Chains A and B, each alone.
Chain A
Amino acid sequence: MVLRFNVPPLTRGLLLAVITFTTLNTALGIFALIPNQAWRWPWTFFTSAFVESHLFPVVIALPAIFFGGRYLERAWGGAEYAKFVLFVTVIPNLLSFAVYWSWYLITGSTAPL
């Protein structure tokens, strides 16, 4: 396969992750972070960042990772870039998880915002 664009390895991996996890999640539903399922599927704290539930966010995420990820991976080097990606995917997911659980426990409601 001829790759027209020169993409560094981790960025390529992240692009594939978006496509793979989004597709698999539509079929299996075990890659998105759902607060009351997270204890069964702990990997969702990471993989959820690469699952999109609609087409529009996919159209945003792929170019964002392609241009942004490629730039940062080259600027920082693979190890630093990997660390950064790990932090900014897992930590926000953990925090959101905490917010949604607290909301549920406090209100128990199903209303949006």
Chain B
Amino acid sequence: MLSYRETSIDGALALEAAFLVAFKQLVPEHTVSLLNSAIRIRVKHFPAIFVLLNTISGPLFGTDTALFLGWFGFLTSWIYLRFYRISPTFATAETGQGANIKGDASDTFAFSHFFPDTIQAAIAPICDKVYDTMVAFRICTPFTESAVDAGNERAIARAEGGLPSLMDPSGGDAKFGGRREEAERRRALALKALDARLSAASANHAVQTSIPPTTARSDERATASTTMPSETLPEREAQV
């Protein structure tokens, strides 16, 4: 038997757990049928089942590395997707045009929603306590109301996209979670390109118009702009 420091910590367990968490975010309600529909499981339950199986098999079969990698993969992935991942979004009343969303504050991506519906109610208060404690210690910044709304809006938009087809992304229904994400991403890229072009064009325009004034006047403008609050500048420039 190898000692702990000689144990080989290997395997894609963490990556697999992380993928399952990502699917739970993208297509939570999709049902996967196994063994001729004898077993039907919704995607949102996969991460918990995967982690549970690895937790049981750890002490039972001595696959303790799988236990730790599974848990850490699950937690890393959820924390990243929940709090950190920056993703472009559709223009909404909440966020403005071309805004980015940090994390996913939607109610259905809460930690307690990884558990079966029956024990969710029991787990949710504990999760809330942990969250409140972390906020109190400034380990994480609390979600704003609008972030939660935006997250919920996205979650609904994904669900409305129709049923996903995990096994065959190229065929079947064209509109599902992943496709929706992809379309969203492309749209954001296009908006960004358009924005860059527009600002480049207006910068050009500004350079051309700023040449005519006399040197005295442009000096006056320069001093004015340093002393005046920035909010009043556009008005003044418009007058000039």
Interface residues, chain A, with chain B CB atoms under 8 Å away: 6, 18, 25, 32-36, 48-53, 57, 60-61, 64-65, 67-72, 74-77, 80, 84-85, 87-89, 91-93, 95-97, 99-101, 103-104, 107-113
Contacts and interface: CB of A to CB of B under 8 A. Distances in A.
Q: Interface majority SS on A: helix, strand, loop or mixed?
A: helix
A67 B64 contact: no
B77 A88 contact: yes
B169 A110 contact: no
Contact of B65 (A6, A36, A96, A108): A96
Interface string B13-56: 11111111011001000000000000000000000000000000
Contacts of A109: 3-4
Interface of B is mostly: helix
A109 B182 CA distance: 50
B131 to A, nearest CB: 20
Which bucket holds chain B's interface residue count?
35 or more
Interface in B169-183: 169-170, 177-179, 181-182
A89 B15 contact: yes
A52 to B, nearest CB: 6
22 contacts: A48-B9, A48-B10, A49-B12, A49-B14, A53-B8, A57-B13, A61-B15, A65-B12, A71-B169, A74-B178, A75-B179, A76-B87, A84-B77, A84-B85, A85-B15, A88-B17, A92-B76, A93-B9, A96-B69, A99-B68, A100-B7, A101-B5
